[in-house]
Structures are given as C-alpha cells and as structure tokens.
Amino acid sequence: MVAILVGAGLGVLNARVLFVGSALSLVPWSLAGLALGAVYAGDRWRTRVVGAAYGFAPSYSFTLPSSDGPSVLAGKLLPFVPFGVFGAICGMLLALIGAAIGARVRGR
C-alpha cells in the first residue's frame, strides 16, 4: 500500500509541480523504485509485486492531473492502462535491481 501511495504521489507531483514536461521526472521515480527494492530485498516475490504496484501507480496517476473534469477523465482512464502496465514492468525491474543492490550492501 505504501508503494502505491508513494508512486501515485510522485506521479501527481511530477505532473503538476516538479520537472513538468521533462524526462527528469523519471529520476525520482527510478530512485524510489530502487529504494523500494532495497527495502524488500529479502523476498523476491514480494519485491516483484511491490515493484509492479509501485511502477503502475506513478505511470498511471501521472495522467490524472492533466484531465479537464470527470467526463474527460472517464475517456482517459482506459487508453492509459498500457502506459501503466509498462510502468509496472519498469517498476518491477527497478525493484529487482534495488533488491540486488540492497543485498550486496548488506553482504548477503
């Protein structure tokens, strides 16, 4: 749940406040994904699930603040699901990399 909230928060924050319209918005997303992976380094299954949930959240929520209201929002949700799925795959990969780094730092 924390991973989803962090991801959604970063998605909304980067859509409206930080790095608006810039590829630099991927930097905090990536760092958070690596950190989440390091936290869940002991359990590969949990690392994958948390990483995928985290990755979906910023990718998908990034599109929500740019909507112009509920009627427009309803038309935007479904077309951006593939973007969220791509984010989930990237989040899972980042979490696995973060888990590997975390395990190395801890000496496992």
Mean pLDDT of 12-38: 79
Segment 30-89, tens digit of pLDDT: 888 898 888 888 888 888 988 888 888 887 777 766 555 555 555 666 777 788 888 899
Judge contact between 55 and 90, C-beta under 8 A. Answer: yes
User: What's the pLDDT score for residue 24?
Assistant: 77
Query: Quick check: 7 pLDDT over 60?
Result: yes
Residue 84 or 96, more confident: 96
Q: With 0.85 as the threshold, say if the pTM is over it.
A: no
Best CA proximity match to 62, nearest among 103, 25, 101, 104: 25
Q: What is the pLDDT of residue 11?
A: 76
Sign of CA dihedral 45, 49, 55, 56: positive
Q: CA 47 to CA 54: how far, in whole Å? A: 10
Q: What is the pLDDT of residue 96?
A: 93
